[in-house]
Amino acid sequence: MSATGFVPKKILLTGATGFVGQHLAKRILHQKDISLRLASRSKLKQFVDPTIATFFPMDISTNLNWHTALQGCEVVIHTAARAHIMKETVADPLKEFRKINVEGTLNLARQAALLGVRRFIFISSIKVNGESTLPNQAFSADDLPNPSDAYAISKYEAEQKLKHLSATSAMEIVIIRPPLVYGPGVKGNFQRMIRWLQKGIPLPLGAVINKRSFVSVDNLISLILTCVTHPKAANQVFLVSDNEDLSTTELLQRIGQVMQRSTRLLPIPQNVLKGFATLLGQKAVFERLCGSLQLDINKTCKLLDWKPEMNVNEGLRLTIAP
């Protein structure tokens, strides 16, 4: 069944209380004639009003019955996942990631297909492509995947199983692989960088020569909503970014400019930083700060006639604004 030209009347959004999910729900709620159903482990007050959206307190699992939440829905946007965890505590991380990101996702997708959902949009990760790129050699959507950690492997396995489901059912699959997403309320490494600069902490990152792609949550949502209805999105994999790659030094400088604060960035050579990071057992941290990770979004832009709606400076301004 084709989704050509249709505008869905009912959408199910999973992970509705997550970072991307909250922003996406708010955007969809501004659109008329769309009934939004929200699924998440926890409930947000702004989504309680049944005239605005219907909330389903559901945790992703391998045997969860989605029938009530899916009834009448034409599109599922699946943002829920067991996310990449910096300090893993379980004995078998891959097993835990597979429970939610693979088995839980497929349980939802199979039920969606049986109930006549027309399109299933899966928010994956650029980590499916790999952990890093050489400078000026960006990942593309059609590159051979090269996931390395448990989180990335689970996302890749989910993608493969969704593609097989699409090939054996009438439901279309759309896969989106974003890099680091930032925006109002962002946490993790991006939030830490902002706090470092706010406190005026000197950082040894004034001479980092790398290139990294980022995506503002507004640009990611813009692409997701384009994929809800665009006929050419069916059964495709898309990469997404702000289409403006920055070095870590440039990113910190941009953040400082937006905050109207001077940045105290010490020009320590990268090879010296790498040596210290290796001695301290923090090589992974060095790679995240100093390695390159670039995305080529030409396929996304050309096939969907899409472009990022927000530039980096505006995205940073909204992220940092009180």
Active-site residue numbers? 151
SS3 282: coil
Instruction: Using alpha carbons, select from 116, 92, 135, 100 the residue that is nearest to residue 18.
Output: 100
Distance CA 61, CA 106 (A): 10
Give DSSP secondary structure letters for 204-229: S-TT----B-EEEHHHHHHHHHHHHH
Give DSSP secondary structure letters for 69-131: HHTT-SEEEE-------SS--SS-HHHHHIIIIIIIHHHHHHHHHHTT--EEEEE--GGGT-S
Instruction: Using alpha carbons, select from 35, 101, 17 the residue that is nearest to residue 73.
Output: 35
Place of tokens 């790659």: 245
Provide the CA 187 distance to its chain's centre, in angstroms.
Answer: 13
Distance CA 66, CA 63 (A): 9
Instruction: Using alpha carbons, select from 35, 45, 44, 43 the residue that is nearest to residue 74.
Output: 35
For residue 145, which amino acid is it?
P
